Amino acid sequence: MNITEKKVSRKNSTRMLVLTAMFACLAFVLNTFVYFPSMAPFQHFVNVLSAVILGPWYGGVSALICGIMRILSGRTIQAVTGAIFGPIIGGLIYKKTKNIYLVFIGEVIGTGLFGAMASYPLMRLFYGLDVQSPFYYIPFYTPSAVVGAAMGVAVLLILKRSGVLNRMVNELK
């Protein structure tokens, strides 16, 4: 790898890290100021955007950073477990298929099923909740994921139609 390629690679890594932090902050601010009891649809909105624009791993890191910030501001461990699976699964699906609609399904399955089931043992361990079933959180997580992922897909479709999405993704390659 020559010097020019190293500079371009370093520049793209910096862009990805900055965008990861920006998506985490966007999700945190939206979830803080637009509050729904027991729901965080804007987390899923940002997860879908970051999964497509940044990819699964940076999208997952963005969700993790936001979840940690939400925990530090008084939320439970569910702020992390309910967020990190969606962008990873949605991003992997998008990476394989390039289908924006399937990112929706990945976000809903990742959050509504895997995130909800990952929350169960952690809520028992850290908070001592006496919940009887590992499926307890699924009805709470899924509606939030559906609403937020639908908003994210709508924005991505608008960006794709205008040609902005392709330019954004190409700039990060």
Phi-psi region of 40 (alpha: psi -120 to 50; beta: other; left: phi over 0): beta
Q: What share of the chain is helix, strand, coil (3-state, %, to 5)?
A: 80, 0, 20
**What do you get for the CA distance between the two ends of the chain, in Å?**
16
- Those residues whose C-beta lies under 8 Å from the C-beta of residue 168, and which sit 6 or more positions away, are 53, 159
Taking the CA atoms of residue 141, residue 146, residue 147 and residue 153 in that order, the dihedral angle to the nearest 10 degrees is 140
Q: Just give the CATH number of 40-171.
A: 1.10.1760
How many other CB atoms are found less than 10 A from the CB of residue 127?
11
- Those residues whose C-beta lies under 8 Å from the C-beta of residue 37, and which sit 6 or more positions away, are none
Note the pLDDT of residue 6.
Answer: 63
Instruction: Give buried/exposed letters for 48-71 (b at 16+ CB in 10 A, else e).
Output: bbbbbbbbbbbbbbbbbbbbbbbe
CB 131 within 8 A of CB 86: no
* Tens-digit pLDDT string for the chain (173 aa): 666 666 657 778 889 999 999 999 999 999 888 777 777 889 999 999 999 999 999 999 999 999 999 999 888 888 888 889 999 999 999 999 999 999 999 999 999 999 989 988 888 888 887 767 888 888 888 999 999 999 999 999 999 999 999 999 888 87
CB 84 within 8 A of CB 115: yes
pTM value?
A: 0.90
